[in-house]
Chains A and B, each alone.
Chain A
């Protein structure tokens, strides 16, 4: 499978996750968000960028419990809770936000 962004084709897997991490940029993220039916706001990008930083540091996409805790530590408790994150990404913050961030499916996410 593949998605088209600005006339360029990017390979995705059968679940719509970007195959090559390095392919990602904000335009690619926006198209991936569209396919998820997520209207991106500043709050959405904050989570997506957090995930990309986390991946760069630890080489994994965190499970949702870990993501929630880590966001709470960095961005404060009003953001580090599952209600806030599920409002932004109703089909699962780890799963949807990871996809938009161009990361693989979170480890421990079945």
Chain B
């Protein structure tokens, strides 16, 4: 199987809509097929990685934990837009997994460099 570069662009907050969870599921499927997967988080998408989700009160699955399994799936390229973090009063210390932060412009160049871009 030809290996393609897949980039998942995540721009939505978790729980309010189903985009974040759907993205994560497709990420795992693409990774199970041993594709070259990377994830970008910008705008409200950075909230997906905010640590300390406690979803008992809203009776939904706390899928924050699943980001921790990405390493087992050999997905280790997680890119976060630093401007989006700053606008939300967040720093990398607030995030649940190790990421690489960069400017929006640098992120845009990375997205440009992909074979397949999936938008969530």
Contacts and interface: CB of A to CB of B under 8 A. Distances in A.
Interface stretch (B28-36, B41-49, B79-87, B110-118): B28-36
Nearest to B29: A108
B35 to A, nearest CB: 11
A59 to B, nearest CB: 5
A58 B25 contact: no
Contacts of B63: 59
Interface of B: 25, 28-29, 31-34, 61-63, 65-66, 68-69, 72-73
The B contact surface, by secondary structure, is helix
Given A57-B65, A60-B66, A70 B72 contact: yes
Interface residues of A, number: 14
8 contacts: A59-B61, A59-B62, A59-B66, A62-B72, A66-B72, A70-B72, A108-B29, A108-B32
A20 to B, nearest CB: 13
B33 to A, nearest CB: 7
A11 B41 CA distance: 38
Interface string A6-30: 0000000000000000000000000
A35 interface: no
